[in-house]
Amino acid sequence: MYSFYRFPIIVFFVSFFVSATLFGQESGIFRKLDEKIPIKTSGGVWFWGDVLFFHDWHIQENVKTNSFRLLDGNSVQRAFGTFEECRQRLEEIQVEEGLLPMAGTAVVIMHGFGSNTMTTRHLAVWLKERKAYDYVFNVAYPSTMQSVLEHAILLDRIIKNLPPTIKRIDFIGHSLGCIVVRRYLSGQLEPDWSVSENPLEARKNFTPDLRIGRFVMLGPPNHGSILATKLIGKDPIRRLVTGKTGDELGTDWDKLQKTLGIPCCPFAIISGGRGDNFGFSLLIPGDDDGIVSTEGTQLEGAEEWIRFDVGHGEMLMTEEVFETCLQFLKTGSFHKMQNEHF
């Protein structure tokens, strides 16, 4: 039985979700008054997921209402309605502003659990400043609102909506984002699909897209999350906040693991930790980054693995991590070769 002090917590979260849905940026009630009036948004925090990118523009879907909106590079809404309506408006803007078709290389960044694109923004900006890719797509997705499979299907839509003139697509995932990309790169996006008995062999015969290059995992919970199991467990209040994905990373990990194979492309892992037997958290046995155990990040089939003395979130603010990540994406190795420039 829940003690009285939990009641304000319940009221807070119920009030937050109701207000965000009915009166916040996730609602279309007021936007329908004039769909072409620019409206500043947060870029998608709880309910919105990207489905199409064009330069700095992107179309998002609200996973609760199945409505769509078109955002510019400053997260200002420029259209609202169906997917076709938003895409038509984007095509008009392409002509009005003289935007050229996309062509070249792209990297897709997936943020972690309960997070948003602000946490991966520093990495995205760093990559753009170095012109490492023609396009850097920092993906928003509602990490607590849907399952890992549904997140992977969203990612699949993004990739399929990239024109064939995008010749190469690399991936960077952080935390849950790694698991989403891993699911996308493992096998068929069907509810009843499961990993074969020999995943290393199976990955040779599968690829969702021939343009896929390399993949770097940052702090991936490749064997589930001890914290999710301990802190969320079966608590209905916490599960209200963390959603189905929180269950999948914790108490339902055994079910999710059956759908996670070995990525079909070359991949490497960057972990955080202290390099001792204690790590950043007393709740996690052995070395850890405060959220994921160092040992739990490792995965069979990885080309390389490396640890930095950083915490789980800190790695997204550490330039040495960025440089090592880019090094692998460009060369297939964490180790620099002489006279390399990119």
Which CATH number goes with the domain that contains 283? 3.40.50.1820
Q: What is the C-alpha separation between 235 and 143, in angstroms, rounded?
A: 19
pLDDT in tens, 271-306: 999 999 999 998 889 999 999 999 999 999 999 999
Q: Which residues contact 132 (CB under 8 A, 6 or more apart)?
A: 107, 326, 329, 330, 342
Range of weakest confidence among 10-14, 257-261, 322-326: 10-14
Residue 311 amino acid letter? G
Query: Given a cut of 80, is residue 307 above it in pLDDT?
Result: yes
pLDDT band at 18 (very low <50, low <70, confident <90, very high): very low
Do 291 and 271 belong together in one domain?
yes
Q: Given this model, what pLDDT does residue 219 score? A: 97
Q: Given this model, what pLDDT does residue 39 score? A: 87
What Rg do the C-alpha atoms of the chain give, in angstroms?
Answer: 20
Do 260 and 309 belong together in one domain?
yes
Query: Given a cut of 80, is residue 238 above it in pLDDT?
Result: no
Q: Region of 93 please: left (phi>0), alpha (psi -120 to 50) or beta.
A: alpha
Domain boundary, last residue among 75, 100, 125: 100
For the chain, the domain total comes to: 2
Do 267 and 181 belong together in one domain?
yes
Q: Given this model, what pLDDT does residue 229 score? A: 59
**Does residue 306 sit in helix, strand or coil?**
strand
Q: Which residue has the higher pLDDT, 84 or 338?
A: 84
Contact of 111 with 139, CB cutoff 8 Å? yes
pLDDT in tens, 118-145: 999 999 999 999 999 999 999 999 998 8
Long-range CB contacts for residues 118-125, cutoff 8 Å, separation at least 24: 118/43, 119/174, 119/313, 119/316, 120/174, 120/177, 120/316, 122/316, 122/317, 123/172, 123/316, 123/322, 123/325
Q: What is the C-alpha separation between 219 and 58, in angstroms, rounded?
A: 27
Do 126 and 232 belong together in one domain?
yes
Q: What is the C-alpha separation between 20 and 330, in angstroms, rounded?
A: 41
Q: What is the C-alpha separation between 50 and 205, in angstroms, rounded?
A: 29
- The model's pTM is 0.87
Q: Which of 110, 201, 99, 102 is nearest to 152 (CA)?
A: 110
Do 197 and 89 belong together in one domain?
no
Do 75 and 108 belong together in one domain?
no
Contact of 51 with 43, CB cutoff 8 Å? no
Q: What is the mean pLDDT of residues 241-253?
A: 73
Token pair for 337 = 């070769």
pLDDT in tens, 68-91: 999 999 999 999 999 999 999 999
Do 315 and 224 belong together in one domain?
yes
Q: Which of 290, 26, 9 is nearest to 145 (CA)?
A: 26
Q: What is the C-alpha separation between 151 and 112, in angstroms, rounded?
A: 12
Q: Which of 58, 55, 213 is nearest to 134 (CA)?
A: 55
Domain boundary, last residue among 49, 83, 100: 100
Do 335 and 208 belong together in one domain?
yes
Do 138 and 225 belong together in one domain?
yes
Domain residues for the domain of 307 are 104-342
DSSP 293: B
Q: What is the mean pLDDT of the chain?
A: 86
Residue 167, φ and ψ in degrees, nearest 5: -90, -20
Q: What is the C-alpha separation between 318 and 87, in angstroms, rounded?
A: 36
Q: Which residues contact 249 (CB under 8 A, 6 or more apart)?
A: 113, 176, 179, 221, 224, 225, 228, 256
Q: What is the C-alpha separation between 134 and 136, in angstroms, rounded?
A: 7
Domain boundary, last residue among 100, 121, 137: 100
